[in-house]
Structures are given as structure tokens and as C-alpha cells.
Amino acid sequence: MVRARAIDRKLLRDLRRLWSQVAAIALVLACGVAILLTAFGMIRALETTLDDYYGRQRFAEMFASVRRAPGALVEEIRAIEGVRSAEARRVGPVTLDLPDRPAPGSGQLLSLPAGAPFLNAPLLVSGRMPDPDSDHEIAVNDRFAKANGFRPGDGFATIANGRRLDLTITGTLRSPEFLYSLPPGGLMPDDAGFAIIWMPERAAGAVLDLEGAINDIALTLHATAVTAEVADRVDALLAPWGGTGVRLRDQHPSHAFIAAELDQLRNMTVILPPIFFVIAGFLVNMLLGRIVALERAEIGLLKAVGYRKSEIALHYLLLAILVACIGIAIGWLAGSWLAGGMARIYARFFDFPWLIRPDGLDVYAISGLLALVAAGLGAARAALTAARLAPAVAMAPPAPPNFGKGPLDRLTAGRWLSQPAKMVLRGLLRWPVRAAMTTLGLSAGVAILVASSFMIDAMNLVMDSAFYRANRQHATLVLGAEAPAKAALQARALPGVLRVEPQFDLAVTLRNGHLSKRLSITAQPPDGDLVRILDTEGRVVAAPETALMLSRQLADQLQVGPGDVVEVEVAGDRERDFREPVVAVTRQYLGLGAYMDHDALAARLGRAPQVTALHLALDPAALPEFQAELKTLPTLAASVMLTEVRDSFRGTIRQNIRWNTILFLAISGLITAGVAYNGARIQLSERARELASLRILGFTRTEAASILLGETAVLALLAQPLGWGIGALIAQGMVSGFDSDLYRVPLVLTPANFARASLLTLTAILAAALLVRRRFDQLDLLDVLKTRE
């Protein structure tokens, strides 16, 4: 018992004596634990919440749209082998006339069956459901009601098919189908201007001109069903009625956005935590290696009085484990706090009625175990070295290292270097592994800043490409149905309209062999100047007259390039299918794109040119009159004001980037300062007697300190280009993780990006060096000289 207490007291004294270095290592380790805990915890929370919410509200697994079909068709779909349940709906866009809002809003109208919906069942938040026999009672999504200050009993007007109808809100709902909802043509959610409206089935049919008919079907499948076979049979049934193709749950816009967020979190757990654990293990290795070298005599005495090798090794391993435990405790606290904050952000960003936070004790255990393994591996070499020391050898001073002169040593012998500079360079050359590892640790701080700050430049490029170069219109009018080309002339007569450009979107499936993609071909006039196509170099190009242009992402998915031919299957009208060559590949960061000339596509379809959207240039002075007139247009489904979309996009991106920048700046600072401080402290402990001798011989404090910190300065400079390269690789990995059908992030690495990362990390290194310099200035020279080498 006495033996254990004695060695344990030494352990506690070591912790107190080395508190600053222990704190630096523990904070680096805590970052890895916190990020792993936060990201992995949020992945579990989102997945658990989605499974629970989707299951409770019976979110459909398959969706099918049709232009107009008899209601009895749903019975034939239910009879398909593998279909567990099917529910028909009436769905369509409407225009909203909202109180105190000059611009018209937009809405998605959904029918409610006489009984409660079985699939995609909305969750009542406040009020009550509409009366099935009412023509004017509705329920709206909760976020829309809150954004406009609506309560049950309030109302607004809607315009659909040229008819205006005053509506009364009876309740607010949430739905698994609209966790993330975008208005038609929008890039960001618009809670105040876009509503999900649930209306009794009979009334919805009258508003959408679908009395006795349906245009949307939701399905769930048996566990043993073959999804592709069910989809083919549903498509075949709906084709005569203008079916536009089956969409699976993972193609549903709301679910796709959440799935993309989950992918980003998974990438974060793969990339960031290992960096912190590796650096923490390296710092532990540096610290314990030096402690064992300084405590040779103590190790010899412990062995001489009877301590076994295993006890000596365990003593130093316990020191590393205690450091890890401190880091784990800090990481658990920080991770729990961050996970709670992120949970609240996700609950606001995605319209979750609740967010389940699993107990997640296994997540805590895994993060703690990884931290212990990292610290244990870092301490293993030093612990084995201590255990192997024979008592007689350990109590004698270590033999001086046997250095041979190499070419670099001869270089430092010249008179062109000052004596302090020679001492610094010799220290680097004689311990190359330690110098290399320190450089790698310092470069990690640079790399994290490079990998995180590139997002600022990337988002600026996306903004410039999407909102200033490709889309230069002031407003876009999305029509509720296809209209003849003369709709452009009618729009030209609206107040303040200076220019109108038509657009036609055709729902198709593009095929290349076994590869296929469902999307819309965008047809534009060749002389369009408001909405433009950019090639892969960012240059403006015209829509081709007789061929397709595909975005890079789409071309890669279909494995086609210029000169290849793709099959175009027209949704709802397979008799119009055609084959079209690909003439060029374009650059597009938001969504997927396929482009054709407006007249050429009409010719392929064998009909007069049609219009589904109108892009407008406006006179700002006439904007109030323009917005007021929009509320009277019978064919309007939605109006998108590009200025508002741009401001909303910029605000959301800036907020996210600001918090990410603060987080990664703190992380980089901890890594850099921790590595620099520990390296300089070890230098001080190794060279304290040597530096004290120089002070006695007449060297100034500055000269002596330059020898102490010169090695850190040289390694800091060497770490910069290495950090740039590692950061570029991490950034490339992040870009690949962001790559999806919804959006892509370009890799933009500029000299300013690298300079900013280096400036911030060098500042952190300087702060750590000044702390060590302050400790050096406080040394008692006589006490240092009395210590035995």
C-alpha cells in the first residue's frame, strides 16, 4: 500500500508541475472528442428522429404524379403486387394574397380526405382540422402561420385558375413531407411567402379544377417488394393519363436536403476527429519522452527499491491516461453543449416537431475510448523505454548522442551564420524525427484554416455565378400550367416590365444505356440575356440550336460528353420520345441542368412553343404596381423576386460561414498553440542549463531566447507550405462530400486564403512562444546551473 501511495503521489505532483502542458494537450484532445460526439450524436439524433417521425406519420415511400386521372385508378395501383397502401390526392400551386404583403405569396394546396389521411398524415399543432364539408376552411403549415402572425380564425385570399377565394385558417400543421420546403423556383425557404395549405377534398378539387379526378398518389410498399418493378407497373398504369414518373422517397426534395446534411455530418466525423487524436498522441509522446529522459535517476531509484518494470511502465501510462481523462471530460461537456445547440438549430432549420436525442452512452464510450487509445499509443514508447532501463544505467547520466557530420552540419560550420543560428540549426538536424513531427503538428493548424476558410471564396463564386452571371433577371413568374408563347407578350404589358424572356421546362428522363436521370430540360431563346448558360470556364454561351447542353454533374452521372447521344423520354407523353446529341458541358452549382433551344425543343415535340416561366427585367420605380397586378393573374403559380432570394441566400450562408469560421479558428488556434507551446517547453527543459550558461557568459536575454525559440520559428515557417498542401487535400475531400444533385461547392483556393491561414497560425505560435519566453525570463540562473545534467 505504501509503495502504491508513493508512486501515486509522484503522479499527482507531475500533473501539478506540468499543468500548462497537460492543459494544452487536454484541450487538443477535447476538440476531437467534442467534434466526434457532436457530429456522431447529431447523425444518430437525425436518423432516429426521421425514423420515428416518418413511422408515426406514415411518410410515403413512393410518389407518383399525373396530369389528370380518374379517382378509381388508385384501386388498380393498390392491386399491384408489393404495394401495401396507396392514397390519392389533389395537389396544385396557388397564388396567395396576404395581408400587409405587397408581393403575392405562393402556396402548395393539398387535399384532405374525408377521414384522417393515412399516408403523410399531418400533425396538428394548434386549432382544429378543417370541416370536410366547408368550402373555405383550411389548415396551414405552422412555420408559415408563425412567420405571418396568423392564428386560427385569421384568413387570407388565394387565386387559382382565375378564381379568388377567401380562406379561413382553422389550425396549423406539421408534415413529414415538408420538413424542408422550397417555393416554386426558389433556392431558399420562404416561411412568410410560401404556404402549405390543406383543404377538404371536395373543396380542393373545385379550386384546382380536379372534381372527380386526382393528380397525385402516395404509396408505401411491403418489405419484400421489388421497388423497381413496382415503379415500372405504376408508371405503366399512369402513362395514358399523363403520368410524369414515379419518385422514390430519396428523390423527394425535403428528404433529399436532410440526407445531404447527414452526408456532410458523416464527412466531418471522418475528416476532423482523427486529426486531433493524432496530434494529441504526438504531444503526449513528446511530453513523456522528455519526462523519462529527465527522470532517469528517479526511475533507477524506483527499480532499485523494488518496483517492477510493469509498475514503472504503468506509472507513465497512467500519466497519459489522466491527461486523456481531463481532455475527455472537457470534450464531453463541450460536445453535449454543442450537440444541444445544433439540435436547436436543426429543429428550426428543418421543421421537426420534435428531435429525439438518443441516450448515446455508446457515443460517449467510443469517443472516450478513441481518446484513451490516442494518448496510450503516444505514451507507449516512453513507457517501454522507462521499463527497459536497468537501475545502474538509469542512475548514470545518459551517454552523449553520437552525431556524425553530414553535409548539412558542414554547412552550419561556416562563418556566415551567427552562433545562435548554428545552435538552432544543429538542434533541428540532430533530432530530425522530432522536428518533422512538430512541423506536421503545426501544419495541421494551417491545414484546418485553409480547409475551412476556402468556403468563403467558394460561396462568393457560387453567388456570383448563380445570381449575377447566370440569373440577371429581377423577377421570375412561374406559371401554373403550360401556356402559349403569347404569354410573354401579356407579361410585357405588366407595369414596370422592361424585358421578358420565356422559358419552357419539360419533365423528362435522360438515358444512356443503363444509366438514367429524371429532371427537366430547360428551353430558352437563343438571344436570351436575363438567364444565361455558363460553360465550364464560366463563359456565357447560347443554348444550342439542335442539341443538348448538360451540366458537368449530370454529364458525369450519365457518363456522356460532347458528341455522345442520349435518349430523351418525355414524361406523360412517351410517343414524343426522341434522341439528342450532347454538344457541350456547362458549369452549374445549384441543381442539375439540361438545356436546349426553345424553338428546337418545340420542333422535337411537334407542337407550337410553350411557356412555363417568364423572366423579367423591371423598373424599380414601378415595383409596387407590378406586385399588385401579379395578384390578379389567373395563371400565376409563384413569383420569385431574385433580389429577395439573393439576400436570403447571402444572409443564410454568411451566418453559417461566420459560425464555422469562429469554430475552426478556435480549433486551429488550440492545435497550433498546443504544439508550439509543448515543443518550446521541452526545448526549455532540455536547454535550461545551456541557456543559463550563455547568460552567465554575457549573452543578453534576447539572444538566449532567440536560441530557445529559434527552432520553433524555423519549424513554424516550414509548416506553412506543408499545411497549405494538407489543407488543399482536406478541402478537396470536403468538396467531394458536398457533391450532390442539390448543390455543389467549388474548390477555390487563392493566395489570400493561404496567407490568411498562415497569418492566424503564426499569431497563435507567437503567443505560445511569448508564454515560454516569459517562463524563461523568470528562471533563477543559479538554481538552473546547480541542477545535474
The confidence score (pLDDT) of residue 411 equals 55
The confidence score (pLDDT) of residue 393 equals 65
CA distance 533 to 594: 10
The confidence score (pLDDT) of residue 401 equals 57
Residue 102 contacts residue 128 (beta carbons within 8 Å): no
- Give the up-direction half-sphere exposure of residue 361: CA atoms within 13 A in the CB hemisphere: 0
DSSP per-residue letters across 135-190: SSEEEEEHHHHHHHT--BTBEEEEEETTEEEEEEEEEEEE-GGGSS---TT-SS--
The confidence score (pLDDT) of residue 195 equals 92
CA-only gyration radius of the chain, Å: 34
DSSP per-residue letters across 45-94: HHHHHHHHHHHHHT--SEEEEEEEEETTHHHHHHTSTTEEEEEEE-EEEE
- Domain spans, the chain: 1-61+252-398, 62-251, 420-472+653-789, 473-648
Q: What would the grid cell of residue 505 be?
A: 421546362
Tell me the backbone φ, ψ of residue 723, rounded to 5 degrees. Answer: -65, -35
CA distance 588 to 744: 8
The CA-atom distances, in angstroms, between 680 and each of 166, 369, 440, 688, 766 are: 74, 29, 15, 11, 11
Strand bridging mode 515-524 / 594-597: parallel
191-206 per-residue burial string, b: 16 or more CB within 10 A, e: under 16: bebbbbbbbbbbbbbb
Q: Which residue bears the cell 427537366?
A: 520
Nearest alpha carbon to residue 6 among 305, 383, 393: 305
CA distance 682 to 680: 5
Q: What is the largest CA-CA distance in the chain?
A: 103
Look at residue 287 and give its three-state secondary structure: helix
Strand bridging mode 137-141 / 155-160: unpaired
Other beta carbons within 10 angstroms of residue 693's beta carbon come to: 15
CB proximity list for 38: less than 8 A, separation 6 or greater: 335, 338, 339, 342
The confidence score (pLDDT) of residue 400 equals 58
Nearest alpha carbon to residue 541 among 550, 533, 553: 533
The confidence score (pLDDT) of residue 761 equals 85
What is this structure's pTM? 0.76
The confidence score (pLDDT) of residue 126 equals 92
Q: What would the grid cell of residue 372 be?
A: 484513451
Instruction: Tell me the mean pLDDT per 10 residues along the chain, length 789.
Output: 61 78 82 86 84 91 90 89 92 86 87 86 92 91 91 89 86 92 77 90 89 90 90 88 84 85 79 82 80 75 78 85 91 84 75 77 86 89 81 63 56 59 69 77 83 80 82 86 84 89 88 86 85 81 80 88 87 80 84 86 86 90 87 80 79 71 75 76 69 70 72 84 88 76 79 87 83 72 55
Residue 504 contacts residue 610 (beta carbons within 8 Å): yes
The interaxial angle of helices 642-696 and 432-463, nearest 10 deg, is: 160
Look at residue 112 and give its three-state secondary structure: strand
Beta bridge partners of 360: none
